[in-house]
Chains A and B, each alone.
Chain A
Amino acid sequence: MQNSIEVKDLTLNFGSVSVLKNMNLDVAEGEFVVLLGPSGCGKSTLLNCLAGLLDITDGQIWIKGKNVTWSEPSERGIGMVFQSYALYPQMTVRGNLSFGLKNAKVPQPEIDKRIARAAAILQIEPLLDRKPAALSGGQRQRVAIGRALVRDVDVFLFDEPLSNLDAKLRSELRVEIKRLHNQLGNTMVYVTHDQIEALTLADRIAVMKGGVIQQLAAPLEIYNRPSNLFVAGFIGSPSMNFLKGRTIDGGKAFQFGGTKIDLAGYDGGAVLERDDAILGVRPEHITVSTTPLAGPSIPAEVEIDEHLGADSLLWLKAEGANMSVRVPVEGRLPAGTKVHLGLDIPKASLFDAKTEQRI
């Protein structure tokens, strides 16, 4: 299948500051790629480069098999949705939707047709003659999506489109964007710092940090097999437990404090013996028991017990390290309880503490 977007060796410097470093990214036709990362990681900058709103320092950008590196934003065949909606306040919704088409000299009947279609898809027909000030946040964002929709383009770029909405609307619109993607089949690139949005929407997630893509993979792959410590810690809430220790017995076991943990069944490369290693285990991959477990188990003490409704979080102290464990509601334990922890090694991740890479 042809790639919809190809970013080749993209580099961007602001003065002496390097924002994007030699970046390569291919997005397949109809794919939904989410750029995820903390503030300042360059994800919005990358999107702005794709849109042509920022001049790049080096590299190429191809969209639909065309080199658009030097093209104007309007010539790139993209539609863009912004965090602050960016609706033109002095125009009605109809005016907002038709502005780009009028600039492109699309004939009026065609404009009317496209607006009618977009309004029907987004269910904003009753709002067409209102000004943006008379719309709610969710409605405004719908109109903003509509503005990208009427352009009849192949690539949609979303720049944190849901960040200004409250939690309820956010999840509603999230589902709607997903539905839109299924319905239209456009290529979508979506920037967010919200990992829930990333995990639910994406076909593939690009986790970024410091202007570099750390890992580009399907959501579950990212969640289950993070390629380095940063990705492991960034994805998941509460974040993954990191146990500092070393691998022994030729890489067959992990020494954590006074406990020796058998690494049988670990899903990864050759472990070898390493003096500095980190075992990462997600809170839901730990079993808690008040009686000693059959295999090796880590002794711990409950510090705080948090109820989340559907389940509970136990915050524990084990071998001097803080850990969190997700347990069913009926598994709650009062603070101060002495417990034993068992780890689900096949679902755990092992990192080299020096290179921070997954082993």
Chain B
Amino acid sequence: MADTSLAMSGPRGAKPKKALSPRNIMLYGILIVVCIYYLLPLWVMVMTSLKGMPEVRLGNIFSPPLEITFEPWVKAWSQACTGLNCDGLSRGFWNSVMITVPSVIISIAIASVNGYALINWKFKGSDIFFTILIFGSFIPYQIMLYPIVILLREAGLYGSLTGLVLVHTVFGMPILTLLFRNYFSSIPEELFKAARVDGAGFWGIYFRIMLPMSLPIFVVALILQVTGIWNDFLFGVVFISKSEAYPMTVQLNNIVNSVQGVKEYNVNMAATVLTGLVPLIVYFVSGKLFVRGIAAGAVKG
């Protein structure tokens, strides 16, 4: 019986954990510092954008507004001036939407078929084709700017939204193809073979077998393309010639950097947050879906 009581008195069950261990202090300390580092600029921007100009001039950039006003937001959206146009960022927003939506859809559609064909329907020279495609993604954009301007001019697309959509689609191709190719290569080849025995063709297998299994990678591609194309400044400023057609980022730059009149910091801040809102929403909405898609995984034996 003595043995039993000894056994009962010893450690048993889950090991107790200390809340304030050195490890936890270190871990959470660093996390909190990093959070502040990233959130502080956002805080300053949002707070400033909610203040009136007299309050901005006081200079307390960290303090919350004494009197909340949405005037700067309204002004940034619909009244801010770039050059002669004074209809705010809304025009840039719709331009960006008209650039981003077709670019994202077309580039993902083509790249996913590319990746699928490169893995499952290997043709003569498909490896070389892939190598060239990947090599393309290493060439700096600056080198290609001028030749593309000429190409677009010759094609009669220079300065138009169509031209910019084309450029975005082409430039997204290497990385997206790589992305899709790698994802499709993780789908068991036997699934593809089974579908062929079942009489499905190139498009049948793509739409009925591959697509339904590939939601996660489509979400990844969507995030990459939407944020990449929405945030693009270089192509927008180079390939669009009329200021009415500028995307939001270019227009934001023109508003913030305009040298005439008073610097309206609150309007500038509101305009910047508005421009960043779309990528932010994409992250929040699809991030969850992304993780869920990855976790769902494939059927294994």
Contacts and interface: CB of A to CB of B under 8 A. Distances in A.
B193 A88 contact: no
* Interface size range of chain B in the complex: 10 to 19
A53 B301 contact: no
A48 B192 CA distance: 13
Contact of B198 (A74, A133, A137, A164): A74
A89 interface: yes
Interface in B165-200: 188, 190-191, 193-200
28 contacts: A48-B193, A51-B193, A53-B197, A72-B196, A72-B199, A74-B198, A74-B199, A78-B197, A80-B197, A82-B190, A83-B190, A84-B188, A85-B190, A85-B299, A85-B301, A86-B191, A86-B193, A87-B299, A88-B195, A88-B209, A89-B298, A99-B208, A100-B198, A100-B199, A132-B299, A140-B299, A140-B301, A164-B301
A210 to B, nearest CB: 24
A73 interface: yes
Interface residues of A, number: 31
A72 B193 CA distance: 12
Given A89-B299, A90-B212, A132-B299, A103 B196 contact: no
A147 interface: yes
A72 B204 CA distance: 14
Contacts of A137: 301
B213 interface: yes
Given A53-B193, A164-B301, 20 more contacts: A74-B197, A78-B197, A80-B193, A80-B194, A82-B194, A84-B190, A85-B301, A86-B191, A86-B193, A87-B194, A88-B195, A88-B209, A89-B213, A89-B298, A100-B197, A100-B198, A104-B199, A140-B301, A147-B194, A147-B198
Interface of A: 48, 51-53, 72-74, 78-80, 82-90, 99-100, 103-104, 132-133, 137, 140, 147, 151, 159, 164
Contacts of B194: 80, 82, 86-88, 147
Contacts of B212: 90
A51 B188 CA distance: 18
Interface in B12-56: none
Nearest to B188: A84
Interface string B117-140: 000000000000000000000000
Given A99-B208, A132-B299, A133-B299, A86 B200 contact: no
B191 A99 contact: no
A302 to B, nearest CB: 42
Contacts of B197: 51, 53, 73-74, 78-80, 100
A72 B299 CA distance: 27
Nearest to A150: B198
Interface of B: 188, 190-191, 193-200, 204, 208-209, 212-213, 298-299, 301
Contacts of B190: 82-86, 159
B191 A53 contact: no
| Max chain B C-beta neighbours (<10 A), residue from A82, A104, A147, A164 | A82
Contacts, number: 72
Nearest to A89: B299
A86 B197 CA distance: 11
A78 B197 CA distance: 8
B98 to A, nearest CB: 34
A74 to B, nearest CB: 3
Nearest to A132: B299
B72 to A, nearest CB: 49
Given A89-B213, A164-B301, A73 B204 contact: no
Interface centre among B193, B194, B196 (most CB of A within 10 A): B194
Most chain A beta-carbon contacts within 10 A, residue among B193, B196, B198, B299: B198
A145 B293 CA distance: 29
Contact of B199 (A48, A85, A103): A103
B198 A99 contact: yes
Nearest 9 CB-CB pairs, A to B? A74-B199, A100-B198, A103-B199, A86-B190, A86-B194, A90-B212, A164-B301, A82-B190, A89-B299
B159 to A, nearest CB: 44
B196 A73 contact: yes
A352 B198 CA distance: 48
Contacts of B208: 88, 99
A259 B173 CA distance: 75
Contacts of A79: 197
Contacts of A87: 194, 299
Nearest to A159: B190
A172 B237 CA distance: 69
A8 to B, nearest CB: 22
A161 to B, nearest CB: 11
A33 to B, nearest CB: 19
A137 B190 CA distance: 16
A84 B301 contact: yes
A83 B191 CA distance: 11
A74 B301 contact: no
A10 to B, nearest CB: 19
Contacts of A83: 190
Contacts of A132: 299
A86 B188 CA distance: 8
Nearest to A74: B199
A90 B213 contact: yes
Contacts of A104: 199
A88 B188 CA distance: 11
B200 to A, nearest CB: 5
